[in-house]
Amino acid sequence: MQPKFLLIVIAPRGVIIRDTPRPQSEGGTQLRTVAVGKSLDCYDIHNIGGVPYGRLVPQKPGTTEWLRIKEADGTQPLVDVIELEDSGTDSSLAKAITLLAKALMHEQ
């Protein structure tokens, strides 16, 4: 699965990465903090309980990492969200392989 977004931390105090998309008061465990200016790859952005959270590409495979996109009041963004363009590389490669396979089948 490829990341769909690049998140750049703009909150002066940085951001907290948690294991679930919920605050500490609701059971979310802090995994690490990320300083202002750092960038993070993100698979999806989900609205959970009226709060946008990004599901990050985790540092350790097999774990999940979540980041709150905006402050608790929903007005101040914590990160800049940049949507990554789908280069179509995978689909172009798949099309080329399919065409090559068809061409080889016709030669036999």
Average pLDDT along the chain, 108 residues, taken 10 residues at a time: 91 95 93 94 92 94 94 86 71 65 62
- CATH number of the domain within which 68 lies: 2.30.30
The rounded distance, in Å, linking the Cα atoms of 15 and 35 is: 7
Q: 108 Cβ partners below 8 Å, 6+ apart?
A: none
Q: Could you tell me the two tokens for 56? A: 């990050």
The rounded distance, in Å, linking the Cα atoms of 84 and 98 is: 27
pLDDT at 7: 94
The whole domain housing 68 covers 5-107
Domain count, the chain: 1
